[in-house]
């Protein structure tokens, strides 16, 4: 995919780890900022208390001089911007102290005796304290929200960057799993851990391709080299069977050997044919073919076997299906599918064949193929566990797959509940 979707992000361990780490950092950041806010507010209150004490000292000194000095100092203070308020009021109290003692902000105000009938009330303006707290709020929120936003964006950026590079690796490996050859993972000039991973995977892909090529060459060569001596051995067994001196037991034993040898020779011939089809060594004819007519011909060949098992074969052609290809190869592909359907469908079962504009569908009521085996049944010599009780060599579906690939078609295997539904799908 060319981008990272929500599902890829939510299942990414890198993204989860980064988010968890950033949440932890955010929690620590909130605790630290909250403590800084409290310390800053306490420091501000202490500063106000110190300034208030200085104000009281100053007014006490002026009160000891004269009432006029207090009034002049009061006018000067009011004309300036201070966080304190000053109220000069008349009073009959005469027990106000003239001495100074330190105060804190727990006391809302402080009274100073001025003359005989005046007192000066000094206190901290609550508005100044609240304004200072309000001025801290944007700083506190910016100290929390901004780092969180930066960390989340960073987590998304690094996660997307890592996932995109991993996606290139996954895409290349999916191509390898789908059977594509000569797949290479791009290696950048950064020489980081992803490039090292790409180098190792490229080397692994090359080794797998070499091993697969060697195995195919060995298998094909072995089948080719052994076919000739087996054919000679078959002729010699035929000559022996033509002799009249053999007893019945000898003739039966040699006939059994002859049948087994013919089965092995047929196996090798099928392996060679599949190898040639997959490698493109066979030149197929390009002619317009009515796939429905080819299917009918295959049904006529397999009908006696189905009748012997009391199976019901039904054929329906919905529309004309004309394809371009080799008639004999397509016949063998359809026949192999029909043969498998008859072989793995119990007596009294039914097999429905439908030809439409997309190809042919063969649906049986047999033992079917498990979802796991569906991924491997088209490999040569592979046999599902349920099919091992029947005679066969595991090359039927391999031949079908090779033929459909040669015709740019597709073989789809689905459950028929019960049984198997096989579809030969042609794009043209």
In this predicted structure, what is the pLDDT of residue 293? 92
Q: Could you give the CA distance from residue 360 to residue 334 in angstroms, rounded to a whole number?
A: 8
pLDDT exceeds 60 at position 55: yes
DSSP symbols for 164-228: HHHHHHHHHHHHHHTT--S------SS--HHHHHHHHHHHHHHHHHHHHHHHHHHHHHHHHHHHH
pLDDT tens by residue, 316-336: 998 888 888 888 889 988 998
In this predicted structure, what is the pLDDT of residue 296? 92
User: What are the residue boundaries of the structural domains of the chain, listed by start?
Assistant: 1-180, 193-279, 287-426
pLDDT tens by residue, 164-203: 888 888 888 888 777 677 788 888 887 777 888 888 888 8
**Which helix (H) or strand (E) covers residue 355, if one does?**
strand 350-356
- Distances in Å between the alpha carbon of 84 and those of 46, 52, 123, 205? 14, 8, 6, 81
Residue 290 DSSP SS3: strand
Q: Could you give the CA distance from residue 135 to residue 129 in angstroms, rounded to a whole number?
A: 10
- If one looks up domain 193-279 in CATH, what number appears? 1.10.287
Least confident of 114-118, 356-360, 362-366, 372-376: 114-118
- If one looks up domain 287-426 in CATH, what number appears? 3.30.565.10
First-to-last alpha carbon distance for the chain, in angstroms, is 28
Residue 155 DSSP SS3: helix
Q: Which residue would you say has higher pLDDT here, 53 or 391?
A: 53
Residue 361 backbone phi and psi in degrees, to 5: -120, 130
**Which helix (H) or strand (E) covers residue 287, if one does?**
strand 287-290
Residue 108 DSSP SS3: coil
In this predicted structure, what is the pLDDT of residue 99? 44
Report the sign of the C-alpha dihedral through residues 211, 215, 221, 224, in that order: negative
DSSP label of 346: P
Find all residues with CB under 8 Å of 60, minimum gap 6, and list them.
Answer: 98, 99, 100, 112
Total-model pTM: 0.50
pLDDT exceeds 60 at position 118: yes
Reported for 168-172, long-range contacts at CB under 8 A and 24+ positions apart, including other chains, are 169/194, 169/197, 169/198, 169/201, 172/201
């Amino acid at each position: 995919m060319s981008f990272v979707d929500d599902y890829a992000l939510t299942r990414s361990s890198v993204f989860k780890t980064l988010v968890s780490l950033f949440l932890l950092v955010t929690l620590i950041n909130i605790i630290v900022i909250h403590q800084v806010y409290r310390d800053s507010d306490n420091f501000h209150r202490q500063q106000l208390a110190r300034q208030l004490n200085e104000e009281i000292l100053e007014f006490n000194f002026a009160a000891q001089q004269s009432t006029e000095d207090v009034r002049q100092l009061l006018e000067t203070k009011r004309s300036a911007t201070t966080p304190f308020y000053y109220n000069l009021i008349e009073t009959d109290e005469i027990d106000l102290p003239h001495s100074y003692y330190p105060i804190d902000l727990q006391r809302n105000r402080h009274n100073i005796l001025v003359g005989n009938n005046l007192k000066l009330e000094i206190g901290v303006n609550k508005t100044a304290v609240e304004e200072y707290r309000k001025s801290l709020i944007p700083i506190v929120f910016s100290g929390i929200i901004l780092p969180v936003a930066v960390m989340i964006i960073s987590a998304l950026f690094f996660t997307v960057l890592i996932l995109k590079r991993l996606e290139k690796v996954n895409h290349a490996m999916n191509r390898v799993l789908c059977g594509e050859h000569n797949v290479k993972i791009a290696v950048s000039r950064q020489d980081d851990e992803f490039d090292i991973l790409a180098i190792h995977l490229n080397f692994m892909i090359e080794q797998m391709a070499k091993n697969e090529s060697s195995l195919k060459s060995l298998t094909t060569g072995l089948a080719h080299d052994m076919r000739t001596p087996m054919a000679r051995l078959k002729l010699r067994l035929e000559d022996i069977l033509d002799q009249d001196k053999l007893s019945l037991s000898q003739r039966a034993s040699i006939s059994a050997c002859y049948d087994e040898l013919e089965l092995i020779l047929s196996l090798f011939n099928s392996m060679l044919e599949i190898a040639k089809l997959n490698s493109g060594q066979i030149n197929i004819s390009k002619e317009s073919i009515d796939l429905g007519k080819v299917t009918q011909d295959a049904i006529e060949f397999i009908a006696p076997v189905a009748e012997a098992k009391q199976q019901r074969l039904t054929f329906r052609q919905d529309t004309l299906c004309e394809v371009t290809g080799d008639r004999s190869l397509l016949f063998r592909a359809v026949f192999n599918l029909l043969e498998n359907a008859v072989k793995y469908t119990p007596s009294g079962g039914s097999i429905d064949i439908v030809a439409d504009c997309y190809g042919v569908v063969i649906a049986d009521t047999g033992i079917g193929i498990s979802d796991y085996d569906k991924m491997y049944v088209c490999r040569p010599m592979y046999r599902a566990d349920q099919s091992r009780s029947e005679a066969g060599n595991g090359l039927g579906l391999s031949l079908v797959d090779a033929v459909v690939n040669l015709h740019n078609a597709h073989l789809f295997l689905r459950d028929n509940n019960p049984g198997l539904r096989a579809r030969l799908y042609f794009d043209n």
